[in-house]
Structure 1
């Protein structure tokens, strides 16, 4: 403790009283904590007064061995930089938003004369109109399905659109107007696109009134088939609005964020409202110390949550926050428009926030119940395999290949909170001396690479990245290969078990292999068996999925991809001259020299690349 305090004091002599961000580092230069300050000198000095520090902060000070600083012009800039650094370094003493993927949007792509509607995630680089964010892919898919029904917009890619000679199935089932084969005029299709734009912009009532008028007009003309089309489109719009009753017109564009805390855990529920419509919700469970209150957790969540997404003009929350004005200024700077944080105390908005808080409470109770069930299963695993304690990290390994091609190893991770998908890893098999389909050799390579790196990066084994149990998908042979590999690395103390599929690959009749013991089965209705099957099946799913991705990627590779000095332009020139990559590979030196843009030196290099074994 005293050493940490002295190290911190040593920086005070040169620290300015300016805004900035500071990082505390341990003896291995791992970031312990990232903080921001209006005055770096005053903030850092507060860590030298031990009486005023909580146990958590005192523990952090005792581990501090160095510090790094970045000065900024304003405290607002420091707040934005702090959020960025927390997400980058994931310090153990910071409140951390663990699940922070970008959200999907609906895009009306106007880069083509006949715009298409589709799902979009990532940078907004495509010309068009973006609507969102939506809380989940399923929410986007549902809305896209309704848009197809109500406005008959195309969803096919431009290449499919340009190659069509007759209407597709979506046209037959009245999910597309058929602009690809001129079943609708450009003017009529443009009006459908504008109507979809207006609906997503919140002008749903005007759209419904227009469709109702058209339906009645068609009915008066005795054109009942056309009237039925308008009726179905109205029903589709009604289906969307039926899902919006949580809002009841109380907010237009806003995020409602409510937190609930119990048992040292916190759930933060976020509801997205755009154009008066509820576009879904999502629950978050930030990592924090058990004694930290919501008044600290919610501001930290907000700064990290909006680090990679635009905040709306209004954010409703369910608790008071310190430095509310600073957060508003930072979010407004990031968004390019005024952002207002509101803590409603009465009225419709208060009732809406209370409803979101109830959702946060329910989600946290479900999670705690699931974690309790998970703990019970982990205790069952510990009893089954004679472990000293319930495992906090289980690693499951599986291989995937087709006759030895595109061979790949996969590792999934599970623990008290379920599957830890951020820790999943895949290993492309690199050994050239393995015979095709050598599962034992592949397992040896995967484990060697995995634990050699662990030994290099954390030889003291004092981090959570070390497993308490290894599960291998396979039988006695795979178990022996795993044990031999770990023995070569001096890691014989890691428990290993293998799971072999039952007769006829029947689930429930698996054989379990442990070192020095006879294989055994579990009762078919044993909850621990179901748990272990889930782990094995998840590893299998991840391995197969990764293998298919790799195979699909390799199928798209060209023979010309490995040529040094041959970029897209020269590659195109070669293909245009010879007609195919295979013809380029078989071409003679003099023929290669005749291609535009290919010098004699480069032609010799290309020729040698394809004939080095001749």
Structure 2
């Protein structure tokens, strides 16, 4: 029985058009396999979709999309604003082939000042902002946050320890000794004075730096006049640290207190977007993005797609400075204002300080794209070399590299890294906690079999037709013939033998540069010592090893700091502190009698019974 071939092209769209009216909404174009080709929004669905009912008058990209369209889906909305928000959600979720896509959606760190404690702490924060704290940011990178935090601790002497450490400490920690904390945990500073330091830190992070410097200078002069020279020297050091914070900010615009500056550069079918974060009249760093585009995408289209996807899940600032204007800019500004619950303005400046900021972002985007294009060309040559060395049909677009890490079998983990035409794809890295309880400790073969089995079983479940880009073109295994044989066995059981696989083993005397490459049914071979492909494979193997070791260390460290009370339902940080203060240790809690547990402040009879049952049931 032959399969029915689905009709595609403008005739399909013409028939679908008869079902539409003039409502606002979002439309999806799907191919013969029901894969989403494109997501768009419209103020008037009938008018918008009618544009696709013919091939003439479109770019090559849109003509290809129309030709592949086999069906359409529509969701109507009450307003065009709702349609815009829904469109951006669907693009981010579905990643359609013909939309401009923000491939590397990053989360940015903030500085958090907690407010739920009598002695607030200052720390780096990622993720959702809560009402219990003050947040300042975003910063472009963790490094930028860490540099500022390091200097802020020198200036304002605020704690960064956890609340549980704060509550249990009996003497000052190292931060007090190196003059980065005022030791509120042991009463070396009163609540009022500490609160004053917190307010000063918040004022600095809001850009009120001059008044803080004047205040510290006055305190230093007073201390000096009263011959408190040690205190005067400490204040001098704090003023110097504050000056250092301001000096590392780079460009500090005077007329722009808060803005994101977004510059776009397009060249050769590729694009780079640079975002500079201006907060409190200070430059808090910049970050680059490389959205997936086509050669016929216009700058306005790329910028609009970027804004919608970039600010999904992020709070926009009051002002966004753009290098390129977008269509329906008022609608985008309304959507961002709705997301921020306050007015957000989009501006394409033509002169003055704002224009200079945008030009700086464009210049950085141009330089970054030039470097990336050069790196991509080198990467392409390396992938061609890999295909030639391992006799692949084409240069691999996705290489997966696997490694294990453990200490005599304990805290065993597997790791997978991914590389392709864009280089290392860290968002695709995966870690695997080894779960097989019957596995012999230290059995690397069995560990690798578990990792590969879990990886490909999931891949087969998610994409049984093997059409997605998540399927690898090459597997690199850290090991020799034994590892390759073990992996080949599990691949055969799963029915995915066609995926090329190479084992990378240290050669004679385990000497770097004498690696041997093992493939099923073929003799091992080596590449010449100065071959760029050999260096490339070594870098991939070392990156997999680094990732595996780091994952193993994190798992081991977590195990070392684990507390048996963490496993007891209903025992949170406060009750855990009460139990430890009463009994002295978790081990003593586990041995305590029920009556003793009930005697602890804050522990109800029911919870005491639950704790007693938890430990004695195990015993």
TM-score, length-normalised on structure 1? 0.88
Q: Which residue of 2 aligns with 1:23?
A: 28
Distance in 1 of aligned mates of 2:560 and 2:97: 42
Contact 1:479 1:497 in 2 (8 A): yes
Q: Which residue of 2 aligns with 1:535?
A: 540
Distance in 2 of aligned mates of 1:272 and 1:157: 29
Distance 1:244 1:436, change over 3 A: closer
Contact 1:109 1:126 in 2 (8 A): no
Residue 596 of structure 1: how far off its partner (Å): 5.6
- 1:327 maps onto 2:332 in alignment: yes
Distance in 2 of aligned mates of 1:445 and 1:225: 62
Q: Which residue of 2 aligns with 1:308?
A: 313
- 1:140 maps onto 2:145 in alignment: yes
Distance in 2 of aligned mates of 1:133 and 1:435: 47
1:393-432 to 2 correspondence within 5 Å?
393-431=398-436
- 1:188 maps onto 2:193 in alignment: yes
Distance 1:439 1:245, change over 3 A: closer
Contact 1:104 1:137 in 2 (8 A): yes
Q: Indicate which of 354, 358, 365 corresponds to 1:360.
A: 365
Contact 1:247 1:352 in 2 (8 A): no
- Which region of structure 1 is more displaced relative to structure 2, 252-261 or 464-473? 464-473
Distance 1:580 1:184, change over 3 A: closer
Residue 582 of structure 1: how far off its partner (Å): 11
Distance 1:509 1:311, change over 3 A: same
Q: Secondary structure at the match of 2:8?
A: helix
Q: Which residue of 2 aligns with 1:385?
A: 390
Residue 415 of structure 1: how far off its partner (Å): 0.5
Q: Which residue of 1 aligns with 2:228?
A: 223
Distance in 2 of aligned mates of 1:75 and 1:121: 32
Aligned residues: 599
Contact 1:269 1:357 in 2 (8 A): yes
Contact 2:565 2:586 in 1 (8 A): no
Q: Which residue of 2 aligns with 1:243?
A: 248
- 1:435 maps onto 2:440 in alignment: yes
Q: Indicate which of 52, 57, 62 corresponds to 1:57.
A: 62
Distance 1:145 1:504, change over 3 A: farther
1:232-381 to 2 correspondence within 5 Å?
232-381=237-386
- Which region of structure 1 is more displaced relative to structure 2, 80-89 or 393-402? 393-402
Q: Which residue of 2 aligns with 1:464?
A: 469
Contact 2:299 2:324 in 1 (8 A): yes
Distance in 1 of aligned mates of 2:495 and 2:163: 57
Q: Secondary structure at the match of 1:69?
A: strand
Contact 1:111 1:126 in 2 (8 A): no
Q: Which residue of 2 aligns with 1:591?
A: none
Distance in 2 of aligned mates of 1:511 and 1:28: 42
Task: Give structure 1 stretches of 5+ with no counterpart.
Answer: 589-594
- 1:499 maps onto 2:538 in alignment: no
Q: Indicate which of 16, 22, 28 corresponds to 1:11.
A: 16
- 1:211 maps onto 2:216 in alignment: yes
Task: Give structure 2 stretches of 5+ with no counterpart.
Answer: 1-5, 595-603
- Which region of structure 1 is more displaced relative to structure 2, 48-57 or 101-110? 48-57
- 1:474 maps onto 2:479 in alignment: yes
1:28-177 to 2 correspondence within 5 Å?
28-125=33-130, 127-177=132-182
Deviation per CA, 1:136-166, whole angstroms, max 9, x where unpaired?
Answer: 1111111101111111111111121222222
Contact 1:559 1:582 in 2 (8 A): no
Contact 1:558 1:581 in 2 (8 A): no
Q: Indicate which of 509, 519, 544 corresponds to 2:524.
A: 519
Distance in 2 of aligned mates of 1:268 and 1:555: 43
Distance 1:111 1:9, change over 3 A: same
RMSD: 3.4
Distance 1:180 1:427, change over 3 A: closer
Distance 1:21 1:557, change over 3 A: farther
